[in-house]
Amino acid sequence: MTLWIEVAVRVETPADLAIVEALACAHALRGTAIEEQPPTLRAWFSEDERESAEALRTAIAAAVPRATASVAPVDDVAWGDAWREHFRPQRIGEIAIVPSWERAAFREPARAVVEIDPGQAFGTGLHPTTRGCLLHLQEMDLTGRTLTDVGTGSGILALAAAMLGARRVYACDVDPVAVRAARENAGRNGLAQRVRVERISADLAGAPAAQVVVANLTADIILGLAPALRALMEPGGVLLLAGIVGEREGEVVQALAALGLRSPVRRGDGEWVSLRFRAGIP
């Protein structure tokens, strides 16, 4: 039985919870769940990511001294049960995100229904960064367009883009667990022929250029990859960035402006910001 590591963080206020959530997403974790009463965040790491788990606890202690954080091992069953309790069918605009184990019973009308089993990959649609991207994608006309999804996780954004009309979708991730989950999700949604999923190096070498490039990552990763992401944009293309905490927005905007991308369409959700840039707009 595989062991996983759970970091459980109990806080006193919603504001503290937002800070903890931002720190968690910056430490390459496998997934998170939030409990409202009492305000608690649970974050999961694989066994070989123990240093990242401890780094998260240290960062939380420095940023939110009032928080109480613990690190403990959990097995596969406990890990799966923990996040499944928080993953229910949900509507994000006109898109429904439905857990694979509830798809048969789901009957609500929707423009697109994305069936997801994230396994041990990040991406259920619950996080504000994912919601923001899904809303941005619905505002765009993707019919017949090409799209590259960098850091695909469970594949949720790539699959939604295909259902919204993108003719060719390339989804990539550095994590083999994410690649496996995204491929399985493409298959269960009947999109294995239209959504190509590959493991890729951290420098994005080999990723194809596209009319739409999506990167739901973190501010630090986006800043490091900014030139590579810009290079993936076809002339007149769109770059959609998310995973950005509000206080880092200015840095990201400035970095993209230096690459010729300005005046982004902005969407906020609590402490999180997503930005949509179009090449050629001054």
Is residue 150 domain-shared with residue 273, that is, in the same domain?
yes
pLDDT band at 282 (very low <50, low <70, confident <90, very high): very low
- Domain span at 43: 3-84
Q: Is residue 94 part of a domain?
A: no
135 and 38 housed in the same domain: no
What is the 3-state secondary structure of the chain? CCEEEEEEEECCCHHHHHHHHHHHHCCCCCEEEEECCCCEEEEEEEHHHHHHHHHHHHHHHHHCCCCEEEEEEEEHHHHHHHHHCCCCCEEECCEEEEEHHHHHHCCCCCCEEEEECCCCCCCCCCCHHHHHHHHHHHHCCCCCCEEEEECCCCCHHHHHHHHCCCCEEEEEECCHHHHHHHHHHHHHCCCCCCEEEEECCCCCCCCCCEEEEEEECCHHHHHHHHHHHHHHEEEEEEEEEEEEEHHHHHHHHHHHHCCCCCCCEEEEECCEEEEEEECCCC
Distance (Å, rounded) from C-alpha 182 to C-alpha 187?
A: 9
Asked whether residue 272 falls in the same domain as residue 146, the answer is yes
Model pLDDT for residues 238-260, shown as the tens digit of each residue: 999 998 888 899 999 999 999 99
For the chain, the domain total comes to: 2
**pLDDT tens digit string along 100-115?**
777 777 778 888 889 8
Position 133 pLDDT exceeds 90: yes
Range 171-174, long-range pairs (CB < 8 A, 24+ positions)? 171/195, 171/196, 171/197, 171/198, 172/148, 172/197, 172/198, 172/199, 172/200, 172/204, 172/207, 173/121, 173/197, 173/199, 173/200, 174/199, 174/200, 174/201, 174/202
Q: Percent of the chain, pLDDT > 70? A: 88
The CATH number of the domain holding residue 208 is: 3.40.50.150
Q: Which residues contact 258 (CB under 8 A, 6 or more apart)?
A: none
What integer pLDDT is reported at residue 84 of this predicted model? 63
- Joined together, the tokens standing for residue 215 give 């990167």
pLDDT beyond 90 at 74: no
Same domain, 20 and 132: no
pTM flag (> 0.95) = no
Instruction: Identify whether residues 17 and 154 lie together within a single domain.
Output: no
- 49 within a domain of the structure (yes/no): yes
pLDDT computed for residue 82 by the predictor: 58
CATH value at residue 71? 3.30.70.2190
